């Protein structure tokens, strides 16, 4: 395998978060700053974010719109970030939002944090719960925190957490 910068090599999406860890205000600001400086088509910056910290009102409103099966582990994340876009060309805006979240994720790794993104949630419910304006579309929830003990997870999640991660070989990704 070709070399990767450690910031990318150490990134992965855990489900076991430390339930006692919190993000400092500086860490939260640093994550948003990373997202803010992401590139976007025509510098449109169509991304918008909502942040909730464990047990605050926003955090609870985000959590209840996730599937029941995910709430059990996501509730241990210190911070939940909703990534939304402001539309226009929806495909382009979604692409830009994805880049912003990727930047946030790399910055999180640099801070010793982990991020688990989720797109499986009730988008309409979350829009209502956060009172988002009509054109603002939430596409992702990023659960962010410090690593926890995988052996506190239910058996099948623990197996996922401790199993090998896989990727398609590079040759399969090349179109020509």
Ligand X SMILES: Cc1cc2nc3c(=O)[nH]c(=O)nc-3n(C[C@H](O)[C@H](O)[C@H](O)COP(=O)(O)O)c2cc1C
Binding-site ranges for ligand X (CB under 6 A): 12-13, 70, 117-120, 140, 165
Cα 3 to its chain centre, rounded Å, is 25
The least distance separating ligand X from the CB of residue 165, rounded to whole angstroms, comes to 5
**Cβ closest to ligand X, residue 10 vs residue 151:** 10
> How far is Cα 117 from Cα 73, in angstroms, rounded to an integer?
13
Give the torsion sign (CA, 35, 37, 38, 40): positive
User: Given the complex with ligand X, which of 24 and 162 has the nearer CB atom?
Assistant: 162
Q: Provide, rounded to whole angstroms, the least separation between the CB of residue 101 and ligand X.
A: 8
Residue 116 C-beta: closest distance to ligand X, Å? 6
* Contact assessment for residue 9 and residue 46, using Cβ atoms and an 8 Å cutoff: no
Cβ atoms of residues 95 and 41 within 8 Å? yes
Burial category of 77 from C-beta neighbours within 10 Å (exposed 0-12, middle 13-18, buried 19 and up): buried
Q: Which is nearer to ligand X, 2 or 176 (CB)?
A: 2
Q: Supply the minimum distance, in Å, between the C-beta of residue 30 and ligand X.
A: 20
Identity of the residue, 24 or 71, whose beta carbon is nearer to ligand X in the bound complex: 71
Smallest gap from Cβ 26 to ligand X, in A, equals: 25
- DSSP letter at 37 equals T
């Amino acid at each position: 395998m070709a070399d990767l910068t450690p910031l990318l090599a150490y990134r992965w999406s855990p489900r076991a978060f430390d339930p006692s860890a919190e993000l400092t205000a500086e860490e939260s600001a640093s994550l948003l700053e990373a997202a803010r400086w992401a590139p976007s088509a025509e510098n449109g910056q169509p991304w918008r974010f909502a942040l909730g910290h464990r047990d605050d009102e926003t955090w609870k409103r985000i959590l209840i719109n996730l599937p029941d099966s995910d709430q059990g582990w996501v509730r241990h994340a210190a911070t939940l970030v909703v990534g939304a876009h402001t539309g226009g060309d929806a495909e382009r805006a979604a692409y830009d939002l994805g880049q912003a979240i990727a930047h946030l994720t790399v910055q999180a790794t640099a801070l010793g944090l982990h991020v688990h993104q989720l797109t499986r949630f009730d988008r309409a419910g979350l829009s209502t719960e956060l009172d988002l304006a009509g054109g603002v579309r939430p596409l992702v929830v990023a659960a962010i925190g410090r690593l926890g003990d995988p052996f506190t997870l239910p058996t099948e999640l623990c197996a996922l957490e401790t199993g090998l991660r896989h990727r398609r070989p590079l040759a399969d990704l090349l179109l020509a």
